[in-house]
Structure 1
Amino acid sequence: MTKFQNSSDEIRHHEFATVVAKEVERLLAQRNEAVDAHILATASRIAGSVAAAVTSLSPRHQRAIDAIQGDLAGLASKFVRTLAVEATRRSEAKIAGMEQAPTVPPVLIEGPAQPAQRDDFESMLIEDWAGRVAGSTYLEENLHIARSTLHRWQKRNDVVALRTGGRKHVFPLAQFIDGRPIAGISDVQSAITNPRLAWFWLTRQSTHLEGRIPLDMLRQDLVEEVAAAARAFSGG
């Protein structure tokens, strides 16, 4: 396909998305008079973009989506939550002036909160993007990892530790196999020094790895490939 054809397709998809967005916004405005107009416009643009993206899929993938109609609401909800996390990450990165290498955003809490409530709330939000996490007590009782051992691993960057408030840390459980951290995590954290960004990168598809997930590759002992990709991602 030529560059001109690609540009034409993009224009058509943009036009289609715009038409869908306007129609969705009109219908939402009729049924949700109390909702802020800006929110309605944003929701409508998302709906238009999704509709255009679906029409650009191959027939095989379109049929696959059509076959899971009953699950669409749940999948859409998950997509919107992921979209919100990504949007917040970009907003925080822009504010910090770090668009070249954005960090996963710290949790923001509106209004007063007691320390225990703050920790619980932050842990809950961390699990929205980091998967299951646990503190040192859980790891000691269930994975038989002594606190001294965990502390040593943390100092050597052998494990990813996510701060949740004050000096408290939680540890993503997916990084442990048979009570030990997966080999290669320290290599990744040497390149991507922010733990949140390191874990975010480890658990998402990487363009530097042809769409593969770095953590899955570490489980296959492909440490050198993942380490090189982490350095490329960080610009090192």
Structure 2
Amino acid sequence: MVAEAVQQALMRHGVLLDAEALVSASAIAGSIAAALPFLQQAQRLAIGSFKGDSTALASEFFRTMADKIARGDSAAADSASENPVPAVGPGQPAFQHIAEQASELQSMVIEDWAGEVAGSTYLEENFRIPRSTLHRWQRRGEVVALRKGGRKHVFPLAQFVDGRPAQGISEVLSAIANPRLAWFWLTRPAPELDGRIPIEMLREDRIEDVVRVARTFS
């Protein structure tokens, strides 16, 4: 998904990349998209209102990035040999990284990182999902429900397909019990899925790969 979006954007500007460069560009684009929600509101507004030469700014960023990587190669290798990474189970490093980022979500406005959400009244009126059905899904762990305030829950709208949660949601929630963490992972490009966004894959009925990766986190 990310690679396709990057390729289409480049083609609109008459730019073609070889396969290796496209993979690198897609990975960086996914990382940037995942990092944006954690910027302060003022920083996001500043980026959104920027009217300067973004190409020149990006070129400067990549030159700086390449220089830092080149300078840090030998130091990183020495550090790795002196301080080896402890053995961990499959998927644990990625999960730990996601969990560290998700811990910041508690202090953020839900809409700033979760996308469009709504309560049971809205879903009943606009999606024709009865409250009783919604609450049954919630009790069974078949829908992502995010606590907002004291006892109120809101539901990310992107998880619904034809008036019900996308297939695979319940399996993801079974593997990642924290609903905030689960939804955070579902809506970010996943390196384990070649940079694709898990919830988009579920909405396209590409369930098996998403569930397989989610289960490595449990």
Give the alignment's TM-score, normalised by structure 1. Answer: 0.51
Mark the structure with the bigger radius of gyration: 1
How far apart are 1:82 and its partner, in Å?
3.6
Give yes or no for the alignment of 1:130 onto 2:86: no
Give yes or no for the alignment of 1:218 onto 2:195: no
Partner of 1:104: 102
CA contact (8 A) 1:202 1:214 kept: yes
**Pairing of 1:43-54 with structure 2 (within 5 A):** none
Partner of 2:181: 197
**Pairing of 1:1-236 with structure 2 (within 5 A):** 81-84=37-40, 101-102=99-100, 104-105=102-103, 125-232=109-216, 235-236=217-218
More relative contact order, 1 or 2 (CA 8 Å, 6+ apart): 2
Secondary structure at the aligned position of 1:165 is classed as coil
Distance 1:153 1:190 in 2: 13
Deviation string, structure 1 residues 100-131 (Cα, Å, up to 9, x no partner): 8436246667xxxxxxxxxxxxxx81111100
| Aligned residue-pair number | 135
CA contact (8 A) 2:189 2:198 kept: yes
Secondary structure at the aligned position of 1:211 is classed as coil
Give the alignment's TM-score, normalised by structure 2. Answer: 0.55
CA contact (8 A) 2:37 2:113 kept: no
Deviation string, structure 1 residues 129-185 (Cα, Å, up to 9, x no partner): 100000001001111111100001111111100001111000000111121110100
Structure 1's unaligned 5+ residue stretches are 1-58, 62-75, 86-97, 110-123
> Cα RMSD over matched residues?
2.8
Distance 1:106 1:148 in 2: 32
CA contact (8 A) 2:98 2:185 kept: no
Distance 1:145 1:151 in 2: 10
CA contact (8 A) 1:208 1:229 kept: yes
